[in-house]
Each structure stands twice: as structure tokens, then as C-alpha cells.
Amino acid sequence: MPKHIEVAGLLLTLDLAGTAVFAASGAAVGVKHRLDIFGVCVLAFVAGNAGGMLRDILIGSVPPVALVGWQYVTISLLAGVITFIWHPRLERLHTPILIFDAAGLGLFCVSGTQKALAFGANPLVAALLGMLTGIGGGMLRDVLVREIPTVLRKELYALAALAGASVVVAGQLLHFPPTVSTSGGATLCFAVRLVAIRRGWTLPTADGLS
């Protein structure tokens, strides 16, 4: 198998894995808010795919990749149904899920940034769209259950995605090979997020300033 197909296959696998983890997070929020099985599946799909769909709409790549094949829909609904059925057991998996979520964030922010760059976005916008790919699904998930999006209020989450996205943009400006900047960006995002969880890092609110 030629190497670039191998890499493409690896990236798709990782992207689907990220989608599954994000979808499970959406389904868990849906269960917590006592949605029915349909609502839980909608939240799973939204959390897993809305960030990338929003990015695709904004760069003019329609239909969004999540709607082109069967994979993204199927994996999201599977994650939704599994979470719906086994959610009490999944609660014991709290820590692994946080780790997978950080990995998903790392993957989404770099793949989103690369796609935006490929569609001609300027570096600043590409980094922001990469970040949006990582956080957009979770934001819409929270809006649908009438919560102010977590990512706007607490935890260092979006900044980790922005850091990863910035590495990809910098790599492109400095003509680094994409594999280097992509893996570097994903790793940085993953690492920042894990340290932020462990240390309880948060961003300042305006209270302390006034």
C-alpha cells in the first residue's frame, strides 16, 4: 500500500475515533438532561460533528464531510446508543473519557486548521477555524440543553485547541512538512489539555480585574 494512502487511512481512523468520543460526550449530556433516545442521538451527532460542519459551511465545502459518507453518521449514532444503554458503567470511565476527549480535541484542531488552509483561509482565520472544529460541537451541544457553553466559562479547553492550530499554521508559514506540524500541533493540544485538567488551570474572568 503506498504511504500516502496509509496516512490518509490513519487520519480517517483518528478522525472517526475523535468523532466517537465527542459523540459519547454529547450523549452523556443528553442522558443527564433526561432526553429520550432520539434526543440523546441528536446530541451525540451534534457534539461529534457540528464543529466540522460549521467549518465546512464557512469555507464553502458543502456538503460537509460528515454528510458525504456513512461513517460519521453511523459512528455518532452508535456512540449515542451505546452511551444511552451503558451510561452508568461509562461514568466509571470518567478519566479515560477525559483523555480520549483531549485526544479528539488535538485531532480536530489540526485537521480543521489544515482543511481551512487548503481552502485558502488566511493564517489567523485558519487557526480560529481549527479551534472551532474542536469546540463547535460541544458549544452547540450545550446550547441545545440550555446551558451556557462550558468552553466559554471554565477550564482551559479552547486555548489548547488554539495552541495546536497555531502550530499547524506556523508550520505552513515556515514550510515545514505537514506531517511534522500536524503531529506537533495535535500533541501540543493534547498535552496542554491534560496538564490543564490535572492542574485545574482556568482562564481569568473579569471579576478579579475590576
Alpha-carbon gap, residue 3 to 170, rounded angstroms: 25
Is residue 93 involved in binding a copy of itself (CB under 8 A)? no
Is residue 95 involved in binding a copy of itself (CB under 8 A)? no
Alpha-carbon gap, residue 22 to 96, rounded angstroms: 13
Residue among 97, 98, 159, 194 that touches a copy of itself (CB under 8 A):
159
Q: Nearest Cα to 164, choosing from 137, 138, 183?
A: 183
Q: Which of residues 132-151 bind a copy of itself (CB under 8 A)?
A: 139, 143-149, 151
Is residue 74 involved in binding a copy of itself (CB under 8 A)? yes
The Cβ of residue 170 has, within 10 Å, a number of other Cβ atoms equal to 15
Mark the segment that binds a copy of itself (CB under 8 A) among 52-60, 98-106, 171-179, 187-195: 52-60
Q: Nearest Cα to 44, choosing from 16, 78, 11, 18?
A: 78
Question: Cell triple for residue 60?
Answer: 464553502
Q: Which of residues 160-199 bind a copy of itself (CB under 8 A)?
A: none
Alpha-carbon gap, residue 4 to 18, rounded angstroms: 21
Is residue 13 involved in binding a copy of itself (CB under 8 A)? no
Which helix (H) or strand (E) element contains residue 145? none
Distance of closest approach, residue 6 Cβ to a copy of itself, in angstroms = 26
Residue among 6, 13, 63, 94 that touches a copy of itself (CB under 8 A):
63
Is residue 70 involved in binding a copy of itself (CB under 8 A)? yes
Is residue 129 involved in binding a copy of itself (CB under 8 A)? yes
Is residue 33 involved in binding a copy of itself (CB under 8 A)? yes
Buried residues in 29-61 as b, exposed as e (16+ CB within 10 A): bbbeeebeeebbbbbbbbbbbbbbbbbbeebeb
Q: CA-CA distances (angstroms) from residue 46 to 43, 80, 148?
A: 5, 11, 16
Distance of closest approach, residue 98 Cβ to a copy of itself, in angstroms = 19
**Toward a copy of itself, which CB reaches closer, 116 or 167?**
116
Q: Nearest-5° angle of CA 177, CA 185, CA 125?
A: 90
Mark the segment that binds a copy of itself (CB under 8 A) among 18-26, 54-62, 178-186, 191-199: 54-62
Contact residues for a copy of itself, defined by CB under 8 A = 30-31, 33-40, 42-43, 53, 57-60, 62-64, 67-70, 73-74, 84-85, 87-88, 119, 121-122, 124-125, 128-129, 139, 143-149, 151-154, 158-159, 202-207, 209-210
